[in-house]
Structure 1
Amino acid sequence: MSEIFTILKSELVVTGIIFILLLIKLGKGIKNDVLLPIIQLLLLLNFIASCFWNFETSCFADMYQTDMVIACEKSILSLGVYLISLLFTGWLRQTEHLAEFFILLLSALLGMFLLLSSGNFLMFYLSLELATIPVAAMANFDLQKKTASEAAMKMILSSAFSSGILLFGISLVYGVTGTISFAELPTMLNGSTIQIMALVFLFSAFAFKLSIVPFHLWTADVYEGSPFAVTAFLSVISKGVIAFAFIAFLYKVFQPMHAVWYNMLMLLSVVTMVLGNLFALRQQNIKRFLAFSSIAQVGFILVGISGSSAQGAAAVIYFVLIYVFSNLAAFGVAETIALFTGKERIEDYKGLYQNNKFLSWVLALALFSLAGIPPTAGFFGKLFLLTAGAAKANYAFITIAALNMIVSLYYYLKVVRAVFMDKSDTPPPAIPVNPFTKFGLIICAAGIVLTGLLGWIYDHIAALF
């Protein structure tokens, strides 16, 4: 029994925090100013616990599996959730249902942990639903806003559609092979027509969750309508876990059909980068801007996955870690500004530097990293992704990806120009930054710089394979 508790450490810690919040809610209740620091401390302990006592094993007839790579991925997700609790302190303190919000968020995180450790399609599907349904409820957390209800409706409909596609693909796989075990499937795949059809359905389900073009149509509206904390969770944590699962899905389960999915991956990667960049160019709302930029970032993740190697997997995990720091920093600054001014348009950022130097520099650093400008960590992340993708010697593909990096420079620097160079008759006033939010932004800024400069971080991730 003690061994089972050690194996399921990450899931049990999250479950324990959920039960603590339920007990608090059932009691007399605690004010948000007191409850939020308690939750932040629990999430910090969850992150610390995820970094220790990890090993490779399986249980429940291989339905649950874990190893050092999966443990590393769970640690990155735990770090991201902890940072979200810090960065959006202002909004979280104001919300009427703080305990319920974190119960939903941690339920989704629990589903993500189980998703990464899934050993067969049954466990995978149930975990995916647990990771998705609470997020739809979170999207509607601003109950007084109609756009939040619209976002939740679009989220649940797109999730239901992608789940149906996933189930159909799973049924085809089971009908052809007679098994849903990830360990047994590779020996039974021969690239027949019906297996290719099953792969297309399964690939499409992942594409919905990752917002790969043309399955991205829900993304911008859901991001814009949801609270900033939920948008950040969707953009970073949800995308990160699906990217991790996608690697295992393609590399381990469907590796015998590599020739098929490589061509799909290459085509969709190019389309996703190009259209993501083109739509990001014309956005004025900061949430929609970051939504389409995240779609373009997914295109670069697909470049790394296309390498079909340990180097490609390590590059994706490293990039997601950098993406956690960079994107959360951008969302944290945007939420701080929106909470004080009520404005979310990029033109409202003109002259921000005049009265808000700290927020301006953190935002610039985050956007530089997302654009891949050295010496930020984003440059090294994209460099490793392109290097992994170049292993197939498809240099036209890599050239297109590199050119898209240049295109992305324009719209990221457009925001930086508005903040530092554009003049405004009514620049944003001095915006007070909550100490917890400031601490979270400092962590993100340090992560953006140090993750790139400290080479041992990537070496550690690469050594796990």
Structure 2
Amino acid sequence: MDYFSNFIYMRSEVSLLGVILFLLLYDIIAGNKGMRYFQPVAIFLFAVHTALNLFPYEAGESFGGMYQYEPIMTVVKTILNIATLLIFLQAKHLFDGDAQKNKRGEYYFLTLTTLLGMYFMISSGHFMLFYIGLEMASIPLATLVAFDKKDKKSAEAGAKFILSSAFSSGIMLFGISYLYGTAGTLYFSDMASLITSNPLQIMAFVFFISGLFFKISLVPFHLWTADVYEGAPTNVTSYFSVVSKSSAVFVLMTLLFKVFGNLVTEWHNILFWIIILTITVGNLFALRQRNIKRFLAFSSISQAGYIALGVISGSSLGMSTVLYYILVYVFSNLAAFGVISAIENRTGKLSIDDYKGLYQTNPKLSFVMMLSMFSLAGIAPFAGFVSKFFIFYAAAQQDLYILVLIAAVNVIISLYYYLRVVKAMFIDKNDHPIQTLATDSWNKASLIICSAGIISAGLLNIIIDTITKYSFGM
């Protein structure tokens, strides 16, 4: 294979890199008049990129096996693309002020660079490419968290995230170095047969997996989440909650089964207790929150536990339902953040108490938020119910009845805090509710798409059938 043939399987990465470079040049060259069209151009180009990379193709590898491609990876990248596109539709208000207009190029460049890093993580067949992708995804994210440098909370959140991220990356790299020292290779395919249950490799595995758990916000590696979610701009918080988490979950699935399959007993025991802690701690702390962004931060921690429940099941059905769950989570969570973004931009209000009586003045926003809360809570017939049902079913098939029981009890607990938001909007009285808001057309489009996804994704069996078709065998 010649040098240029290596890029045949890297179509999605090459396409995304082309979008990044075009937008970078557009930002540099376009004058004030041209920059008025920057966001529509960026959204259009990214939508074209998503459409061009929608269908899987033949599996293969590039650069000596460092880059791996399987059809399921197109499904994962498409989910990330859909989520990113929805987030871009919700980003218009970020650049309303005169001080923010010149930051449009930086925002899209940084966001798409993190997405490119996630692409490399997903398609890596070598720990070095995986680590490069991880850092490419993490460092620009810290810049996005501190995007509003005049906001003390944003600057503080950026500092907390970069320090925590550097610490977790260091731990992960330490684990990778031990894996290389004991196995003599960094290729996933070669290492799989060389991993045994010797103490040094188990310790290396624990160090490595701890760094990855940080990215997913699994307990006890979750402590950064609430502060960063609260301090970051809402649009960046939504990116954290769905895109960053989704890519890390797929990488976790890949590595546990394709690299650390010989340590299945060890990681199964570790993940068992972490799932219990994550679902329970996330729920209990969500009960106490009054700030809606911190509330969704702990909600996302709990949701990560449900996702991990599908991972631990270890079956093809479990892997497929994890991806389906993530797709549903994208629509549900971004619907909530779209409403929060619209309200925060116009009023600056972020307390759940501020949402009391919202239905009186903003019935459409209240309806979308209600759909989101119902789906996240797992209430039938919305998509969140179907995704949780499949996750529980996949785990029950592997006789993980204790985990399913604990998860089911926590679903009941979560009903309280999700329905508390619905109660505030539709039932609680408020003499001075949030005034009637005019949502911009971009955000309206994203909310319509998310609402349609919440309603239809639970009814279309073709979605999970498609994911199962391209899923890798376990």
TM-score by length of 1: 0.98
The code of the aligned residue for 2:171 comes to: I
Aligned-partner Cα distance in 1 for 2:185–2:318: 28
**Aligned mate of 1:29, from 25, 28, 31:** 31
Structure 2 match to 1:179: 185
**Aligned mate of 1:45, from 48, 65, 75:** 48
Structure 2 match to 1:229: 235
2:339 equivalent to 1:336: no
Aligned-partner Cα distance in 2 for 1:236–1:450: 19
**Aligned mate of 1:138, from 138, 144, 169:** 144
85-94 or 396-405: bigger deviation = 85-94
TM superposition shift of 1:22: 1.5
Aligned-partner Cα distance in 2 for 1:53–1:237: 20
Residue 56 of structure 2 contacts residue 72 of structure 2 at CA under 8 Å; is this kept in 1?
A: no
Residue 56 of structure 2 contacts residue 74 of structure 2 at CA under 8 Å; is this kept in 1?
A: no
Task: Say which SS state the counterpart of residue 458 (structure 2) adopts.
Answer: helix
2:94 equivalent to 1:91: yes
2:174 equivalent to 1:168: yes
The code of the aligned residue for 1:229 comes to: N
- Per-residue Cα deviation, 1:255-286 (whole angstroms, up to 9, x for no partner): 11111101111100000110000000010111
Q: How does 1:173-322 map to 2 (within 5 A)?
A: 173-322=179-328
Aligned-partner Cα distance in 1 for 2:28–2:288: 47
The code of the aligned residue for 1:311 comes to: L
Structure 1 match to 2:420: 414
Residue 33 of structure 1 contacts residue 93 of structure 1 at CA under 8 Å; is this kept in 2?
A: no
Aligned-partner Cα distance in 2 for 1:426–1:376: 32
**Aligned mate of 1:436, from 439, 442, 445:** 442
Task: Say which SS state the counterpart of residue 430 (structure 1) adopts.
Answer: coil
**Aligned mate of 1:66, from 52, 56, 69:** 69
> CA 1:292/1:265 → structure 2, altered by over 3 Å: closer, same or farther?
same
Aligned-partner Cα distance in 2 for 1:153–1:83: 27
Residue 232 of structure 1 contacts residue 328 of structure 1 at CA under 8 Å; is this kept in 2?
A: yes
Aligned-partner Cα distance in 2 for 1:444–1:406: 24
The code of the aligned residue for 1:201 comes to: F
2:124 equivalent to 1:118: yes
TM superposition shift of 1:2: 6.8
TM superposition shift of 1:448: 0.8
The code of the aligned residue for 1:423 comes to: K
Aligned-partner Cα distance in 2 for 1:42–1:350: 39
Aligned-partner Cα distance in 1 for 2:54–2:280: 37
TM superposition shift of 1:3: 4.8
Aligned-partner Cα distance in 2 for 1:354–1:278: 31
TM superposition shift of 1:388: 1.5
TM superposition shift of 1:355: 1.2
The code of the aligned residue for 2:68 comes to: Q
TM superposition shift of 1:11: 0.7
Aligned-partner Cα distance in 2 for 1:341–1:443: 24
Root-mean-square deviation (Å): 1.2
TM superposition shift of 1:240: 0.5
- Per-residue Cα deviation, 1:103-134 (whole angstroms, up to 9, x for no partner): 00000000000110001111110110001000
Structure 2 match to 1:18: 20
- Per-residue Cα deviation, 1:16-66 (whole angstroms, up to 9, x for no partner): 111112112221434554111111101111111120363211010000011
Structure 2 match to 1:400: 406
Aligned-partner Cα distance in 2 for 1:134–1:195: 32
Aligned-partner Cα distance in 2 for 1:352–1:365: 15
2:370 equivalent to 1:364: yes
> CA 1:442/1:143 → structure 2, altered by over 3 Å: closer, same or farther?
same
Task: Say which SS state the counterpart of residue 381 (structure 2) adopts.
Answer: coil
411-420 or 391-400: bigger deviation = 391-400
- Stretches of structure 2 that go unaligned for 5 or more consecutive residues are none
Aligned-partner Cα distance in 2 for 1:120–1:267: 29
2:84 equivalent to 1:81: yes
> CA 1:92/1:11 → structure 2, altered by over 3 Å: closer, same or farther?
farther
Task: Say which SS state the counterpart of residue 7 (structure 1) adopts.
Answer: coil
- Stretches of structure 1 that go unaligned for 5 or more consecutive residues are none
The code of the aligned residue for 2:468 comes to: A
TM superposition shift of 1:395: 1.1
48-57 or 165-174: bigger deviation = 48-57
Aligned-partner Cα distance in 2 for 1:251–1:406: 31
Task: Say which SS state the counterpart of residue 58 (structure 1) adopts.
Answer: strand
Task: Say which SS state the counterpart of residue 379 (structure 2) adopts.
Answer: coil
Aligned-partner Cα distance in 2 for 1:56–1:71: 11
Aligned-partner Cα distance in 1 for 2:154–2:468: 40
Aligned-partner Cα distance in 2 for 1:99–1:66: 31
TM superposition shift of 1:13: 1.4
- Per-residue Cα deviation, 1:388-419 (whole angstroms, up to 9, x for no partner): 22232121121001111111100000000001
Structure 1 match to 2:10: 8
TM superposition shift of 1:75: 0.6
Residue 50 of structure 1 contacts residue 78 of structure 1 at CA under 8 Å; is this kept in 2?
A: no
